[in-house]
């Protein structure tokens, strides 16, 4: 099926952590480890990363139901991990994460230049996130001070369902006045965020190096040799491609050539499809 886009506006919709700020998506990781440790259950950073991209309540639920962690919880508490426990942990986690993001709020290099170039070309700039509104109330002013302020923001908890459902994207379409979905590009570093874009019918661009899949700070990444970088890049990229990403970039700084390719495909009447 092919069609011509007739949307009055085009949009690029960005995820936040690991995509436009917090290189390596570091802020939540220590908070998750500390959270479960407070309840006498040890988890690793690697385990904490697995559900990344989900809303944080669902992220805690997924962690607690992971077999090894569930067994540790049962041993520590004498009863299985439950949704009531998720509620308790979530109430503790939110202020912990809100404090943590203050220390990991730097924009990823290139973001402001790319966004400025997109705006010059007539794109609206949307955003969705797995963070709650309370956490984003901390993040947004810090991002604004550095020059990043999207045209909308939809947070986990704003709607009845979040990622990987398309509802946050649908809200973004309405906020920005964009249609059809194939005139929109979703940029995200997590599988749930890519699935969100796929479910909504948009083009999807997976962010590999600055994201959760690699999980390293910029300094840590730059300290690696090229072969080790490529190993990390390939592993993280495969995960995003498996989720349905149409193409991959290292960071948002590499986005504009991809936008050019997608624009040509849209002009030819193409629906979203893999670029490689």
> Catalytic residue numbers?
15, 56
Q: Is 3 exposed, middle or buried (0-12, 13-18, 19+ CB in 10 A)?
A: exposed
Q: How many Å apart are CA 14 and CA 146, to the nearest integer? A: 16
Q: Which ranges of 39-110 would DSSP assign to H, the alpha helix?
A: 45-49, 56-65, 67-77, 83-101
Helix (H) or strand (E) holding 111: helix 111-120
Name the helix (H) or strand (E) containing 120: helix 111-120
CB 174 within 8 A of CB 148: no
Alpha carbons within 13 angstroms on the beta-carbon side of residue 5 total: 24
Which tokens hold the place of 193? Answer: 């965020």
Please, are residues 55 and 97 in contact by the beta-carbon 8 Å criterion? no
Coil, helix or strand for 114?
Answer: helix
Q: How many CA atoms lie within 13 A of 188 on its CB side?
A: 34
DSSP three-state, residue 125: strand
Q: CA-based Rg of the chain, rounded to a whole angstrom?
A: 19
């Amino acid at each position: 099926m092919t069609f011509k886009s007739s949307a009055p506006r085009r949009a690029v919709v960005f995820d936040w952590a690991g995509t436009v700020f917090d290189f390596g998506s570091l802020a939540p990781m220590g908070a998750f480890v500390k959270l479960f440790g407070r309840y006498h259950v040890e988890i690793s950073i690697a385990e904490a990363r697995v559900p990344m991209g989900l809303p944080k309540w669902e992220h805690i639920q997924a962690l607690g139901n992971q077999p090894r962690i569930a067994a540790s919880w049962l041993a520590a508490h004498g009863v299985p991990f439950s949704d009531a426990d998720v509620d308790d942990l979530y109430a503790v986690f939110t202020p912990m994460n809100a404090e943590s993001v203050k220390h990991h709020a730097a924009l990823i290099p290139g973001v402001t230049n790319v966004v400025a170039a997109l705006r010059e070309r007539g794109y609206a700039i949307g955003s969705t996130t797995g963070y709650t509104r309370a956490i984003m109330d901390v993040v947004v002013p810090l991002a604004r001070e550095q020059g990043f302020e999207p045209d909308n923001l939809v947070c986990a908890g704003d709607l009845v369902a979040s990622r990987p459902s398309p509802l946050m994207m649908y809200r973004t379409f309405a906020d920005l006045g964009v249609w059809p979905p194939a005139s929109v590009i979703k940029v995200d570093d997590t599988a749930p965020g890519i699935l969100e874009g796929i479910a909504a019918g948009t083009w999807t661009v997976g962010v590999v190096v600055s994201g959760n899949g690699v999980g390293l700070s910029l300094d840590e990444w730059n300290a690696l040799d090229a072969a080790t970088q490529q190993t990390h890049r390939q592993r993280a990229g495969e995960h995003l491609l498996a989720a349905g990403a149409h193409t991959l970039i290292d960071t948002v700084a590499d986005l504009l050539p991809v936008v050019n390719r997608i624009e040509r495909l849209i002009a030819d009447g193409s629906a979203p499809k893999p670029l490689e």
